[in-house]
Amino acid sequence: SQTIHQWPATLVQPVGSPLSLECTVEGTSNPNLYWYRQAAGRGLQLLFYSVGIGQISSEVPQNLSASRPQDRQFILSSKKLLLSDSGFYLCAWSVPGFNQPQHFGDGTRLSIL
């Protein structure tokens, strides 16, 4: 069966420090991959999505970037974190196709001090 792993589960970082969050998927090939940010336990904001290695679409201009160095690995990065980057970051994958649901990892809670 397919599984998705996100780490770390929680992270506390100072303003101006770099960031690297990693997400890996097992048990499937060529998945669509997504990074979301969820503020205050409410709606999801799509940050990036990828349909293949090296193919990244950015949805919101911001301080963050994403990379997909391997088929089932998706990395969210920042060179310098801002206070506004605090939030709950969720990675998800789906089988390619319009009618396929997304499957989410358990998220990383990021606090910026």
Partner 1 sequence: AQSVAQPEDQVNVAEGNPLTVKCTYSVSGNPYLFWYVQYPNRGLQFLLKYITGDNLVKGSYGFEAEFNKSQTSFHLKKPSALVSDSALYFCAVRPNTNAGKSTFGDGTTLTVKP
Residue 1: C-alpha distances to residues 26, 28, 45 (Å) = 8, 8, 28
Q: Segment contacting partner 1 (CB under 8 A): 13-21, 65-73, 78-86, 103-111?
A: 103-111
Q: Does 98 contact partner 1 by CB under 8 A?
A: yes
Q: What DSSP element (H or E) covers 33?
A: strand 32-38
Task: State which of residues 24, 50, 78, 102 lies at the interface with partner 1 (CB under 8 A).
Answer: 102
Q: Which residues contact 98 (CB under 8 A, 6 or more apart)?
A: none
Q: Does 90 contact partner 1 by CB under 8 A?
A: yes
Q: Which residues here bind partner 1, judged by CB under 8 A? A: 4, 6, 41-44, 46, 49, 59, 90, 92, 98-99, 101-107, 109
